[in-house]
Amino acid sequence: MDELGAAAPLWLQPLRWAAVLATYGWYHSAYRVRRWGTLPRRRGPTLLVANHQHDVEATVVVSAMSLSTFSWRYPIFSAAGRRMWEPGFLADRVPWLSFATRGLTYGWLFEALGLEPVENELHTRPFASLAYSLSQAHGALPLRDVFRESALARLHGLASLADLGKPRHFALGRTRATLSELHEPYRSEALAATRRQLDADIAHIAQLVRSGATIYLTPEGHYSGDGRMRRMRGMLAELEPLADIWMAAISYDPFVGRRLSMLWRVAPAAKDVALEAQIKASRPVTTSALLATWLHARSGAFSAEQARDAVRAQIAALPDRLFVDPELRRRPEHIVRSALANMQRLGIVQAEGRDFALTQRRAHPQFPQTSDMIAHQTNFHEETLEGARSVP
């Protein structure tokens, strides 16, 4: 464990555990988090592989596993995108703290939690990220020397890379550009630097695994906006032969309750079955997924009783191996009514007398990349069923 000792020196332990406890407390108050299962306390090299749908997952999973397995000396590491180590990340993700976090980097905090940076944006990045890396190498270059016309047209008359770091241009700096929109030699330079960084990041994570570390990994890289899992890729193929594989199978229940509900299960993965299918089949089945699947296939008004009966019928027809939210099994009528009330608050359904009807407003504030949460949850549930059919 020498490598791990070097990665988590004793002087860092009080800071790390303060960060773990604070993170755990914050996320379990801001979100409704429920978990089933945990990692073994005594373990060797381990990969904890999760499906990826939301920004909260890494901090929730890593802090919970650190506490439940009493990882006092060695952190549970998590591969995290390198943008988190750049200025403005927390201001973008936690807007109400932007006055204190804009322009600052918090890599020290993420590293105290066990996060390890990995370059995961090989083709597109925020303008501010490109400006940050290019400024470090070349200073405040004029934008016209750096970007092609297609990118300049979106920058609304800004003059230099330094402008993209100014507070008044913060939102514009978070919009994205492709590396192909850079002039030479900056395009080739950025591509080469990205490849070097990725290779170095993977080598570092692999060495942590060989030394006995536990790594939390989301091989999809980015979450999609439509509820379907992306292809598992990246460093998984390189790390898989080095470790025991466990799953963190995650679902969300966005229509139930004012706080976003995250449900997840921890279980060992079988070696002879496709990992993606196992994760899909292990995800908790939620009220939102069942209700959305039923609504997606029908039109017209419906009653709360019809919705409840439809959810009950779907539960009865589920494959035995699937795990259903225990609260839904115990109190289907109460949970379905709660979901409909919250959907009405969000504007996804509207009252028509004593009945309800879907509206054209299908968004959810916690899923900004998703325009239709009914379709999102339907796709998610279809893939859960697909996983159940694929796993022996």
**How open is the CA angle 150-152-155, to the nearest 5 degrees?**
125
Regarding whether 331 and 302 lie in a shared domain, the answer is yes
Choose the final residue of a domain: 238, 262, 279.
279
Regarding whether 199 and 84 lie in a shared domain, the answer is yes
Regarding whether 187 and 40 lie in a shared domain, the answer is yes
The per-residue pLDDT of the chain, averaged, comes to 89
Residue 294 has pLDDT above 90, yes or no: yes
Q: Exposed (0-12), middle (13-18) or buried (19+): which is 298, by Cβ within 10 Å?
A: exposed
What is the Cα–Cα distance from 29 to 63, expressed in whole angstroms? 14
Is the residue at 316 inside a domain? yes
How far apart, in Å, do the first and last CA atoms of the chain sit? 37
Is the residue at 162 inside a domain? no
| pLDDT, tens digit, 9 for 90 and up, residues 64-92 | 998 998 776 677 888 878 888 878 776 66
Regarding whether 334 and 189 lie in a shared domain, the answer is no
Tokens of 69: 């397995």
Is the residue at 155 inside a domain? no
Is the residue at 84 inside a domain? yes
- pLDDT-derived band at 2 (thresholds 50, 70, 90) equals very low
Phi, psi of 301 (to 5 degrees): -70, 160
Domain of residue 307: give its range.
Answer: 280-390
With a pLDDT cut of 90, the percent of the chain lying above it is 66
Choose the final residue of a domain: 279, 303, 333.
279
Least confident of 13-17, 155-159, 243-247: 13-17
Choose the final residue of a domain: 233, 261, 279.
279
The whole-number pLDDT of residue 6 equals 41
Regarding whether 193 and 81 lie in a shared domain, the answer is yes
Q: Is the pTM of this model over 0.85?
A: no
Is the residue at 178 inside a domain? no
Tell which phi-psi region holds residue 299, choosing left (phi > 0), alpha (psi between -120 and 50) or beta: beta
Regarding whether 66 and 187 lie in a shared domain, the answer is yes
* Domains contained in the chain, number: 2
Is the residue at 53 inside a domain? yes
The whole-number pLDDT of residue 85 equals 81
Is the residue at 160 inside a domain? no
14 vs 21: which has the higher pLDDT: 21
- pLDDT-derived band at 317 (thresholds 50, 70, 90) equals very high
**CATH code for the domain of 376:** 1.10.10
Is the residue at 138 inside a domain? no
